[in-house]
Amino acid sequence: MSTHDLYAIPSELSTWDVEAAGAARFTWEYDEGRDRMLSLYQKGKDKQWDSAKRIDWDLEVDPYNVLGVPDQTLAIYGSPLWERMDDRQRADVRLHNASWQFSQFLHGEQGAMICSARIVESVPDLDSKFYAATQTMDEARHAETYARFLQEKVGLAYPINPHLKALLDNTLSDSRWDMPYLGMQVLIEGLALAAFGVMRDITTKPLPKQILAYVMQDEARHVAFGRMALRDHYAQLGEAELREREDFVIEGCYLMRDRLRGRETWETLGLNKAEVAEAMECVDRSEYLRIFRSLLFSRIVPCVKDIGLWSPRLQQAYADMGVLEMAGQDLDRLMRQDEDIAERLDAERFAAEEAERQAEVAETVAMGGTDSPRP
């Protein structure tokens, strides 16, 4: 089935052409480069995995309860609008919210694949080209995984959100080689990591937990790559150049914040204009979503500070968004945690499978022992 058949609302175009600017850069320096970057490149090679084999696609998913979380996580829960809905309408709210979230993850991963390929093309040093090549493969795998999840398990999809599309457009159309790093590795990947983490930790369903945990294991390396490359580069830039990057970050963060409102889901659920406005008021007032939005900046804010974009006006922008306190987050600890959770999930899954296999072997042996002929 074509993905276009799954879209809840029509996609504007079958393809989206972004006029990319800038040069493709070759380098004839093939020395070993930076030890930290090459270590990350080696890890990127070692950690490649196949989503068809690592993920248990036989697990069932209820499209109307994809994550298995309480309805309190829905912005309209408990509101007069919610109380007026019947069970079928409430089930549709759950379906459309989950579909919209995973659809944006899918589109973001395709954007990340294109941006990392752009980094391979435009970054001047070879060690960064090496690592970005492994990331391009990672992002292809992530897009494949989310596409399969939506097609086979959810059965509904949404086109790319206009705010995410605008940030990708700004990122890819800029001729400066560091902008795909800044737009993708810091902003889009940083927000995605935090969103994946919240959903990974609250879901009670094994299949989305596997997908989110394994994707996060890769994404943690990607953010580390962006930090490493941009920290070195931005230490050499002047005040005017840094201010341009800060302008980009501020605009991008507002786009990412506004993307989370998901207006198109409420417009698609058959609500009238007044009910859509009512739903959006609930979104803006929701304490759960306020906390969720704040947590989504837990990876972005400390990363922006770490790479050297930390002027008073940038701090003020984060204060206005209510996320300035996230600057104190320990990114290295969060990255280790993402790695450990994925490895622990593998260990638990394969230990359970091995125990089940041993039990089957023991049962077979026991049954065979009663009927086998004596020597």
Closest C-alpha among 121, 165, 160 to residue 27: 121
DSSP string, 156-222: -B-PPPHHHHHHHHHHHS--STTHHIIIIIIIIHHHHHHHHHHHHHH---HHHHHHHHHHHHHHHHH
Q: Identify the residue whose tokens are 């596409």.
A: 147
Q: Is the pLDDT of residue 194 over 80?
A: yes
Q: Are 254 and 300 in contact (CB under 8 A)?
A: no
Q: Could you tell me which residues come within 8 angstroms of residue 33 by beta carbon, excluding any fewer than 6 positions away? A: 125, 126, 127, 130
Beta-bridge partners for 322: none
Q: How far apart are CA 356 and CA 32, in angstroms?
A: 47
Quickly state the pLDDT bin for 21 (edges 50, 70, 90): low
Let me know if 195 is exposed, middle or buried by CB neighbors in 10 A (0-12, 13-18, 19+). buried
Q: Is the pLDDT of residue 49 over 80?
A: yes
What pLDDT is recorded for position 29?
67
Q: Is residue 372, in this structure, part of any structural domain at all?
A: no
Q: Is the pLDDT of residue 287 over 60?
A: yes
Q: How far apart are CA 96 and CA 243, in angstroms?
A: 39
Q: Is residue 375, in this structure, part of any structural domain at all?
A: no
Model confidence over 64-98: pLDDT tens digits? 999 999 999 899 999 999 999 999 999 999 999 99
Query: How many other CB atoms sit within 10 Å of the CB of residue 285?
Result: 11
Q: Is residue 362, in this structure, part of any structural domain at all?
A: no
If you average pLDDT over residues 1-15, what whole number do you get? 77
State the pTM of this model.
0.85
What pLDDT is recorded for position 369?
55
272: CATH: 1.10.620.20
What pLDDT is recorded for position 226?
84
Q: Is residue 367, in this structure, part of any structural domain at all?
A: no
Query: What's the chain's average pLDDT?
Result: 88
Q: Sign of the CA dihedral 236, 111, 248, 220?
A: negative
If you average pLDDT over residues 220-247, what whole number do you get? 90
Q: Is the pLDDT of residue 373 over 60?
A: no
Q: Is residue 23, in this structure, part of any structural domain at all?
A: no
Could you tell me the CA-to-CA distances from 193 to 82, 189, 307, 349 in Å, in that order? 30, 6, 18, 23
If you average pLDDT over residues 118-125, what whole number do you get? 89
SS3 7: strand
Q: Is residue 315, in this structure, part of any structural domain at all?
A: yes
The pair phi, psi for residue 3, each rounded to 5°, is -60, -30
- Locate 372 and state its tokens: 């086998």
Closest C-alpha among 303, 299, 309 to residue 248: 309
Quickly state the pLDDT bin for 148 (edges 50, 70, 90): very high
Q: Is residue 183, in this structure, part of any structural domain at all?
A: yes
SS3 101: helix
Quickly state the pLDDT bin for 157 (edges 50, 70, 90): very high
Range from 28-32, 209-213, 264-268 that averages highest in pLDDT? 209-213
Which residue would you say has higher pLDDT here, 356 or 373?
Answer: 356
Q: Of all residues in the chain, what percent carry a pLDDT higher than 90?
A: 53
Q: Is the pLDDT of residue 163 over 70?
A: yes
Q: Is residue 46, in this structure, part of any structural domain at all?
A: yes
The number of C-alpha atoms within 13 Å of 185 and in the hemisphere containing its C-beta is: 29
What pLDDT is recorded for position 8?
83
- Locate 45 and state its tokens: 């090679």
Domains in the chain, number: 1
What pLDDT is recorded for position 261?
78
- Domain carrying residue 144: 5-9+35-347
Q: Identify the residue whose tokens are 């390929």.
A: 117
For the chain, helix (H) and strand (E) counts, in that order, are 16, 0
Q: Is the pLDDT of residue 284 over 60?
A: yes
Model confidence over 97-108: pLDDT tens digits? 999 999 999 999
Model confidence over 303-358: pLDDT tens digits? 999 999 999 999 999 999 888 999 998 988 988 899 899 999 999 888 877 777 77
